[in-house]
Amino acid sequence: MIQQIEKRDGRCVFFDVTKIANAIYKAAEASGGHDYQMSMRLALDVADYVDANCPTSTPTVEYVQDAVEKILVESGHARTAKAYILYRNERSRQREMNTRLMKIYEDLTFQSAIENDIKRENANIDGDTAMGTMLKYGSEGAKQFNEMFLLEPHIAKAHREGDIHIHDFDFYTLTTTCTQIDLLKLFDGGFSTGHGFLREPNDIMSYSALACIAIQSNQNDQHGGQSVPNFDYAMAKGVKKSYKKLYKSNLQKCMQLLCGLEDSEEKAEEVMETFLKEYEYVPALSDDDEKIEIQKKVLADYILDKGLIDKTVAFVRDTAEKEVDKQTYQAMEAFIHNLNTMHS
């Protein structure tokens, strides 16, 4: 004879056939029946069936309930069986509603961040928005899953009772956390965000914009903080490229307006190519006297007046420096603005 029954939480308790009889009687009452003795006889039949057919010595609650449905149907009590099934489903629904996770979901749904600590847990998330609440649904569900399926029981108990704290427990299994993004390596040759390929940037404004895109893209795909350990070195390449562009642009203007040269755009391009091919040199903010003399020497093939050459070089370098300084300032302003306003 059956001695014990296994509850849903794993506990084993004394097997009481009267609880089966009471459940059958409630189902019978719902369908118009009032014979408790019949309910007890059916309960004893259920006990006999379980005793004879259960594959383990201690049946589970679910196995016994399945046996009740089987005995009711086979005994000709179809309406009682239907009422019992509906009652069983309703009880299951109520149990699920009273689980810890469902209670958390209820509070997330019906309470504001002022009333609910969980909604304020992450300062980067507005828990009162639709997507903020949806994110917390997933976060709390992941925590419960990780606690139930991944932790040893004594570790889960210690975490639950506050003896230890597992930081970012919702992302316990999904990804590494907190990334250093090497923009120098990332920008070299361009990169893909997963939604499209971006070419290598060619001026400081592009470097600034793509730095934000890199941070935001990775933030959307990976958990934790994102940082750029070599930000100044990466942006310096953008400044260098911008200065080269501005040097060439101002050289073209100066050759046309100050020196009266025709085809100034082509000649400016030729000068830049000569710098690179013959001297392996690109104009830069850090140019010393030796580099300045290279500029004057190359320009001597296009401008005969030495005084005009000196004026041209001075104008081009000074104007390009002022313009790149302004561009860099604006690029960093945009960078700060984008970081403060973008959502990820």
Q: Which residue has the higher pLDDT, 122 or 231?
A: 231
Q: Give the pLDDT band (50/70/90) at residue 343.
A: low
| pLDDT exceeds 90 at position 233 | yes
- SS3 state at 95: helix
Q: What does the alpha-carbon distance between residue 142 and residue 223 come to, in Å, rounded to a whole number?
A: 13
| pLDDT exceeds 90 at position 37 | yes
Rounded average pLDDT over 274-293:
95
Token pair belonging to 298 = 């190359």
Average pLDDT over the chain, rounded to an integer: 91
- pTM (predicted TM-score): 0.66
Nearest Cα to 67, choosing from 80, 48, 82, 83?
Answer: 48
Q: What does the alpha-carbon distance between residue 140 and residue 131 come to, in Å, rounded to a whole number?
A: 14
Residue 248 is predicted with a pLDDT of 97
| pLDDT exceeds 80 at position 123 | no
Task: Measure the CA angle with vertex 177, ends 151 and 100; round to 5°.
Answer: 40
Residue 193 is predicted with a pLDDT of 84
Q: What does the alpha-carbon distance between residue 33 and residue 41 come to, in Å, rounded to a whole number?
A: 14
| pLDDT exceeds 80 at position 333 | yes
Contact 118, 110 (CB under 8 A): no
Q: What does the alpha-carbon distance between residue 80 and residue 31 come to, in Å, rounded to a whole number?
A: 6
Provide, rounded to the nearest whole percent, the portion of the chain with pLDDT above 70. Answer: 99
Looking at residue 200, what DSSP letter applies?
Answer: P
Contact 68, 23 (CB under 8 A): yes
Q: What does the alpha-carbon distance between residue 270 and residue 62 come to, in Å, rounded to a whole number?
A: 86
**For the segment 51-89, what is each residue's pLDDT rounded down to a tens digit?**
999 999 899 999 999 999 999 999 999 999 999 999 888
Nearest Cα to 251, choosing from 304, 311, 201, 291?
Answer: 311
Query: How large is the greatest C-alpha to C-alpha distance in the chain, in angstroms?
Result: 123
Residue 98 is predicted with a pLDDT of 72
Token pair belonging to 175 = 């990804």
Token pair belonging to 206 = 């592009």
Looking at residue 118, what DSSP letter applies?
Answer: G
Q: Give the pLDDT band (50/70/90) at residue 344.
A: low
* DSSP character string of 250-267: HHHHHHHHTS--SSHHHH
Nearest Cα to 239, choosing from 263, 206, 212?
Answer: 206
Rounded average pLDDT over 191-195:
85
Residue 162 is predicted with a pLDDT of 92
Domain ranges for the chain: 4-98, 101-171, 178-344
Task: Give Cα separations from 280 to 55, 108, 152, 271 (angstroms).
Answer: 85, 64, 64, 12
Half-sphere exposure of 175 (CA within 13 A, CB side): 14
Q: Give the pLDDT band (50/70/90) at residue 93.
A: confident
Q: Give the pLDDT band (50/70/90) at residue 16.
A: very high
Residue 127 is predicted with a pLDDT of 87
